[in-house]
Amino acid sequence: MDLSYSGVMSRKKEILRKATGIDYGKFEISPVAFDYEGLMNTCKYSIEDAKRILQETGVGQTPLVELKNLTDFVRSVSPPGKGGRIFIKDEAANPSGSFKDRRAGLSVYHAKKLGYQGVVCASSGNYGAAVASQAAKRGLKAIILQEVYDSRKVGQPEILEKTRACEAYGAEVWQLTVGPELFYIMLRVLEETDFFSDSLYVPSSVKGIETLGYELAQQVFQQEGRFPDLVIITHAGGGNVTGTARGLKMADSFRTTVVGASVDLKGLHMASDIDFNRKSFTTGHTGFGIPFLTWPDRTDVPRNCARGLRYLDRYVLVTQGDVFYTTELLAKLEGMERGPAGNTSLTAAIALSRELDRDQILVVQETEYTAAGKLPSSQLTFAKENGIEVRRGNPRENVPGKVIVIPERVDQIQVENFEIEKLRHSYIENAIKMTKGYLWTLEDIQFLAEDSKTSADWVQKAIESLK
């Protein structure tokens, strides 16, 4: 068997078909369009099924906590009558400490049902730990592939912690150096083992998150007699936004504004051996957030079920320094030591609460566990060791990969609005590039309209403007 890079990559389709149990080709309509809902339905669980399956392993039904002190603190710097109520979904209460248990909970169950002996997952973050934990509970074997080290063998402390967690759950962990060849290794391991590809982007993984949106809408409704006005979601690959937004709709929470939030790491190259250790956030940042919104089908499966642009109403950016400050506030004012990466959406909530009326409700839909390697103190120690300047001041002076500025006051926390129209245009532009030479049909236009949360008219106009 040819195990060279090009040899393995040429067998990609075949390997993934076997490793997901899905014939992706069946859902292709044209080079542009595919049957998204049809693909999602290959994983035939209703929302009630999903909830029940997750409950079997103790996933879900996490507390919804109103952050009253933090809301008061934000109100002290808000215009009169402003300062919406901030609630947080304490997803750290899941077995492996993050909402990723919902994704892994459903996908590992699904893998077992399909008869796989084990699962393979490429993740340096909480998802890897969640898959390892769920595999332990379901009696499957887990192999987790992590991008951990730069070429000096210096590892991001947060990822080193994730290696430890995965091994604690009994997984085989491959600690790799920087590079997109992670995908090549994944294919090799899948071929060698015949395990299930527990990608973040398979239907079961995205469906698991629907329970989060569904559950939080119901909790808010039960407690407050109304649905949330705003739900803020940390955005990276798109699964969190997609699943949560779909779950909100399933709970009839149609008027809730869906906001994605990412840490601004613009300018850092995700495949760079040098930039790798110049960032304090390994996910939830623009390095994944923007490329995945403007072209979701760039993943380890032929078609990505996580399609953020379909569901986002607004996309905002915060700085690394803002998130560290917020993490401190959450611990000191609310007695909840979490994150920091999972506090990206909470940081945005501080800024957005000041735009809302006092009786309006914002829900931050996740927290994550914290530990050695993850804490702001360990992240900032590492940043300084890698030549990053850290100081207090105006967070607008943050420069990704160079300077982290921790705010001096809460009113300095602001979001940068990333124009969603611009993302939609880039998406159409990418679709044109990727399907060069193919003549689009009306069905394609309709697909792109749905996929970008616009209309056929809007897509036509966008195409014209790009000519």
Partner 1 sequence: MPDAKRGDLVQIHKVILDPSQRPDTLPECTRSVYYECWVKGFLIDESVNIGDEVKIETFIGREISGILKQVNPVYDHNFGVPQKELLNIGSESRKKLGKMKNR
Q: Which is nearer to partner 1, 274 or 434 (CB)?
A: 274
Beta bridge pairs of residue 257: 230
- 410 forms part of the interface with partner 1 (CB under 8 A): yes
Among 93, 154, 185, 456, binds partner 1 (CB under 8 A): 185
- 456 forms part of the interface with partner 1 (CB under 8 A): no
- 224 forms part of the interface with partner 1 (CB under 8 A): no
Q: Which of residues 318-337 bind partner 1 (CB under 8 A)?
A: 324-325, 328-329, 331-333
- 174 forms part of the interface with partner 1 (CB under 8 A): yes
Q: Which is nearer to partner 1, 381 or 394 (CB)?
A: 381
- 455 forms part of the interface with partner 1 (CB under 8 A): no
Binding residues with partner 1: total (CB under 8 A): 61
- 36 forms part of the interface with partner 1 (CB under 8 A): no
Residue 16 tokens read as 């993934």
- 149 forms part of the interface with partner 1 (CB under 8 A): yes
- 295 forms part of the interface with partner 1 (CB under 8 A): no
- 269 forms part of the interface with partner 1 (CB under 8 A): yes
Rounded to a whole number of angstroms, the minimum distance from the CB of residue 402 to partner 1 is: 15
Q: Which is nearer to partner 1, 295 or 325 (CB)?
A: 325
CA 247 from chain centre, in angstroms, equals 15
What would the x/- binding string for partner 1 be over residues 414 to 433, using CB under 8 A?
--------------------
Rounded to a whole number of angstroms, the minimum distance from the CB of residue 332 to partner 1 is: 3
- 108 forms part of the interface with partner 1 (CB under 8 A): no
- 170 forms part of the interface with partner 1 (CB under 8 A): yes
Among 92, 111, 171, 351, binds partner 1 (CB under 8 A): 171
Say how far apart CA 59 and CA 102 lie, in whole Å. Answer: 6
| Region binding partner 1 by CB under 8 A among candidate stretches 108-116, 252-260, 272-280, 297-305 | 272-280
Q: Which residues bind partner 1 (CB under 8 A)?
A: 4-5, 69, 72-73, 76, 118, 141-143, 148-149, 151, 155, 157, 160-161, 163-164, 167, 170-181, 185, 193, 269, 271-274, 324-325, 328-329, 331-333, 372-373, 375-382, 390-392, 406, 410
